[in-house]
Chain A
Amino acid sequence: MLMEQLLSIGVNHFLTISAILFSLGMFAVMTRKNAIVVLMGVELILNAANINFLTFSKYNGGMEGVMFSLFVIVLAAAEAAIALAIVINIFKTFKTVDVSSVDTMKE
């Protein structure tokens, strides 16, 4: 029974991977000090959301999840570009990318 469940790849397998990716991304956002690793955590979270979209799209037979995962990828690209520009500006101003030591709005 358990072996059979493990062998037939279904919704739960993909949801499990997506849950693990989401939690790891959340952990990175919460605990890491370096702004770039925080960004990587956000990318992991977006990827987890994408896996969920595609999973429910496949097992429900609709196209909505597929289309929205495309939009998520585009928005992730925009977010990465903007966030890195901000990080580079923070580095220029404070000479560090440690998010816990950047606590003023002016230099």
Chain B
Amino acid sequence: MNQLTIAIIFYIFAAVTVLSAAFVVFSKNIIYSAFSLLFTFFGVAALYVFLSADFIAVTQVVVYVGGILVLLLFGVMFTNTIMQTELKADVLHVVPGTLLLLLLIGGMLFTFYTTGSWMPGQEQLNGSVVESIGLETMSRYMLPFEMVSIVLLVALIGAAFLARYDKAHKKEH
């Protein structure tokens, strides 16, 4: 593929990511937000492929789209009453929020583009990283890997404990 094709594909995925993320934030309907988040996650996964991190892209699709998004949708369905008639203002601090948004984007972009060219290192990652991920996980990152697995286990047990139906509590009333 030549450079132009790659650039066009990149800009398509970048546009999908940014526009759907904006829709997540600015949409009034939470269900629309949740489904728009799907496109954001897919767009970010495509950007990971551009960064030659194919394994991370697949993990992103499996974990975020298959797990976190389903959890979020479940939360949306569970906590929204079907007939929501009250039309309260859904936002607060809009003016400071907008100011912060513009300041953050402006400040960061200004810094990025005035720092000159970020050092492109001597070597870059090329091709697939799956093999190196396996090697690193079993050598340098053994301890963090085990720790993160225990953290995930404890967090999931805690979540199941917090969200379960509380029978003993119900009996007291």
Interface of A is mostly: helix
Alpha-carbon separation in the docked complex, A60 to B63 (Å) = 26
B104 in the interface (beta carbon within 8 A): yes
Q: How far is the CB of A27 from chain B (nearest CB, A)?
A: 4
Listed A/B pairs (27) with beta-carbon separation below 8 Å? A6-B7, A10-B117, A17-B17, A21-B21, A23-B104, A23-B105, A27-B98, A31-B97, A40-B72, A47-B44, A50-B44, A59-B121, A59-B124, A60-B119, A66-B53, A66-B125, A66-B132, A66-B136, A67-B136, A67-B141, A71-B144, A71-B148, A74-B151, A81-B159, A84-B163, A87-B79, A88-B78
Nearest opposing residue in chain B for A84, CB measure: B75
Q: Besides the contacts A31-B91, A77-B67, what 15 more A-B pairs have beta carbons closer than 8 Å?
A: A7-B4, A8-B7, A20-B21, A21-B40, A26-B104, A31-B94, A36-B72, A44-B25, A54-B51, A57-B125, A58-B52, A63-B136, A82-B155, A88-B78, A88-B79
Interface on B for A, CB 8 Å cutoff? Answer: 3-4, 6-7, 10, 14, 17-18, 21-22, 24-25, 30, 33-34, 37, 40-41, 44, 47-48, 50-53, 55-56, 59-60, 63-64, 67-68, 71-72, 74-76, 78-79, 88-94, 96-98, 100-101, 104-105, 108-109, 112-113, 117-125, 129, 132-133, 136-137, 140-141, 144, 148-149, 151-152, 155-156, 158-160, 162-163
Q: In the complex, A104 Cα to B25 Cα: how many Å?
A: 27
- Closest B residue to A28 by CB, please name it: B25
Q: Which 7 A-B pairs have the closest CB atoms?
A: A78-B155, A85-B162, A61-B123, A31-B97, A19-B108, A85-B163, A81-B159
For the complex, give the distance between the alpha carbons of A105 and B135 in Å: 47
Asked whether B112 lies within 8 Å of A19 as measured between CB atoms, the reply is yes
Name the residue on B nearest A6 (C-beta).
Answer: B7
With the chains together, A36 CA to B119 CA distance in Å? Answer: 39
- B52: chain A residues within 8 A (beta carbon): 58
User: A88 — which chain B residues lie within 8 A by C-beta?
Assistant: 75, 78-79, 162-163
A8 vs chain B, min Cβ distance (A): 7
Once A27-B98, A30-B100, A43-B68 are accepted as A-B contacts, the answer to whether A77 and B152 lie under 8 Å apart by CB is: yes
A15 within 8 A of B: yes
